[in-house]
């Protein structure tokens, strides 16, 4: 059988909101853990078990130091989604049936978990208002606080349009009102300094695969949750030692390199945005341009549906039309709907996110591919209209 020729260039990866490639230093640490730490960390009767448990303790310190928490409050979970569910269980253990406020632009992991609690009669959810940039309308939170709440759930940064939220301000308002808080820092970790945020939050979650660590590992920071934590984690199973160690190393690198990495990302993102703007007059940039993650670029190109764009570029560029979990669906994402984006902008929305290993050449190639495809689609459309 004839072999397919290898592509001249591998696809440019611009989908870091969905997942980040694992840093080679993390891979190295994970391989080392698999080679040298054979024991179950719960088998503390013997030295090898204690060695594995000690390696987990080091990872806990590394995570705590990235987020500005205490090592004993760090609990490892199967994912950020799992951490969110566990945080909600802890809040119920503390307060009983919950009156919750959350933004409609939260990640589906949060929205589904809250809806499930509503169905079980364990929570009522007040959906807060957001504006056309997906930014929180503060007055809607104040009104909900005045009515009485048990828990506010809030992402620190949005996974689709990159909008960054005033979490510190919100957490302080919740503290004043005796309201518990759950911060989804999955997209913010390693991009925003969480040190002022974590000490104010009752629960904070993040995920390994958004910070150049492995998939299938997350974190719940839950200070002062005491005995309830043991109950919620009772069925957690044997800890995934290599993944936990990989996550620890990913957190250490993210902490040490965050400032330089954000500068690198922002430079590339701005280059990408400028390149697209220079060639596509109709380009619209979505989200809160004043408060945006440095690696995030969410655009619409009116007249160029994202289906048509993907059909042309998906073998050369890894990008998405929405959140990874929502893409594949024909519907515009819940985030774009909440922002009130019109059909034309929603149908042509593209989520691009640069990362640690991207280069200027990657960005220039992406611009060339996207502009070429957009022009081809627009001119085919024009010809079709002329016929």
Which residues have a catalytic role annotated? 325
C-alpha distance from residue 82 to each of 6, 40, 214 (Å): 39, 22, 15
Minimum separation from the CB atom of position 107 to ligand PLP (A): 3
Binding mask 95-114 for ligand PLP (x = CB under 6 A): ------------x-x-----
Nearer to ligand PLP, 170 or 367 (CB): 170
The single-letter DSSP state of residue 353 is: E
Residue 304 and residue 333 in contact, taking contact as beta carbons nearer than 8 Å: no
Instruction: Determine the interface stretch with ligand PLP among 73-81, 189-197, 287-295, 329-337 (rule: CB under 6 A).
Output: 73-81
Instruction: Determine the interface stretch with ligand PLP among 4-12, 79-87, 169-177, 360-368 (rule: CB under 6 A).
Output: 79-87
Nearer to ligand PLP, 194 or 369 (CB): 194
Burial of 357: CB neighbours in 10 Å, binned 0-12, 13-18, 19+: middle
Nearer to ligand PLP, 286 or 316 (CB): 286
Say how far apart CA 262 and CA 54 lie, in whole Å: 32
Binding mask 113-152 for ligand PLP (x = CB under 6 A): ----------------------------------------
Residue 353 and residue 361 in contact, taking contact as beta carbons nearer than 8 Å: no
Nearer to ligand PLP, 159 or 316 (CB): 159
Q: What tokens does 69 get?
A: 């928490």
Exactly one of 184, 202, 261, 288 binds ligand PLP (CB under 6 A); that residue is: 184
Exactly one of 135, 186, 333, 358 binds ligand PLP (CB under 6 A); that residue is: 186
Query: Interaction with ligand PLP in 229-288: which residues (CB under 6 A)?
Result: none
Q: How many CB atoms lie within 10 A of CB 116?
A: 13
The count of C-alpha atoms lying within 13 angstroms of the C-alpha of 355, restricted to the half-sphere facing its C-beta, is 24
Name the nearest CA neighbour of 247 among 110, 65, 35, 48: 65
Binding mask 31-70 for ligand PLP (x = CB under 6 A): ----------------------------------------
C-alpha distance from residue 260 to each of 106, 193, 263, 293, 355 (Å): 28, 13, 5, 14, 12
Minimum separation from the CB atom of position 69 to ligand PLP (A): 18
Residue 76 and residue 217 in contact, taking contact as beta carbons nearer than 8 Å: yes
Name the nearest CA neighbour of 333 among 349, 314, 313: 349
Nearer to ligand PLP, 78 or 228 (CB): 78
Residue 283 and residue 277 in contact, taking contact as beta carbons nearer than 8 Å: yes
Size of the site for ligand PLP (CB under 6 A): 12
Name the nearest CA neighbour of 353 among 157, 213, 112, 148: 157
Nearer to ligand PLP, 154 or 280 (CB): 154
Residue 187 sits in the site that holds ligand PLP (CB under 6 A)? yes
Binding mask 300-339 for ligand PLP (x = CB under 6 A): ----------------------------------------
Residue ranges binding ligand PLP (CB under 6 A): 79-81, 107, 109, 155, 159, 184, 186-187, 207, 218
């Amino acid at each position: 059988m004839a072999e397919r020729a290898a592509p001249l260039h591998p696809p440019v990866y611009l989908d870091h909101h969905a997942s980040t490639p694992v840093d080679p230093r993390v891979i190295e640490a994970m391989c080392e853990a698999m080679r040298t730490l054979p024991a179950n960390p719960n088998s503390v009767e013997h030295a090898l078990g204690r060695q594995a448990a000690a390696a987990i303790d080091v990872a806990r310190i590394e995570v705590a130091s990235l987020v500005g928490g205490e090592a004993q409050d760090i609990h490892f979970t199967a994912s950020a989604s799992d951490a969110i569910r566990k945080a909600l269980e802890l809040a119920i253990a503390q307060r009983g049936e919950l009156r919750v406020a959350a933004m409609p632009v939260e990640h589906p992991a949060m929205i589904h978990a809250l809806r499930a609690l509503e169905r079980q009669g364990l929570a009522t959810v007040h959906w807060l208002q957001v504006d056309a940039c997906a930014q929180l309308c503060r007055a809607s939170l104040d009104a909900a606080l005045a009515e009485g709440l048990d828990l506010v759930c809030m992402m620190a940064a949005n996974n689709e349009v990159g909008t960054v939220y005033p979490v510190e301000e919100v957490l302080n308002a919740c503290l004043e009102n005796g309201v518990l808080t759950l911060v989804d820092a999955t997209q913010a970790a390693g991009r925003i300094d969480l040190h002022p945020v974590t000490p104010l939050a009752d629960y904070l979650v993040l995920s390994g695969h958004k910070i150049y660590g492995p998939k299938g590992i997350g974190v719940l920071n839950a200070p002062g949750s005491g005995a309830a934590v043991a109950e919620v984690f009772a069925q957690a199973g044997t800890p995934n030692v290599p993944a936990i160690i990989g996550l620890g190393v990913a957190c250490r690198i993210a902490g040490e390199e965050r400032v330089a990495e954000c500068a690198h990302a922002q430079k590339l993102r701005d280059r990408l945005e400028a390149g697209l703007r220079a060639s596509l007059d109709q380009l619209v940039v979505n989200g809160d341009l004043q408060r945006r993650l440095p690696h995030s670029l969410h655009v619409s190109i009116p007249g160029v549906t994202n289906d048509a764009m993907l059909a042309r570029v998906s073998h050369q560029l890894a990008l998405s039309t929405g959140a990874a979990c929502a893409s594949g669906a024909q519907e515009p994402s819940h985030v774009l709907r909440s922002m009130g984006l019109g059909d034309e902008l929603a149908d042509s929305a593209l989520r691009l996110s640069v990362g640690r290993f991207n280069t200027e050449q990657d960005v220039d190639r992406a611009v060339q591919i996207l502009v070429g495809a957009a022009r081809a689609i627009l001119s085919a459309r024009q010809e079709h209209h002329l016929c």
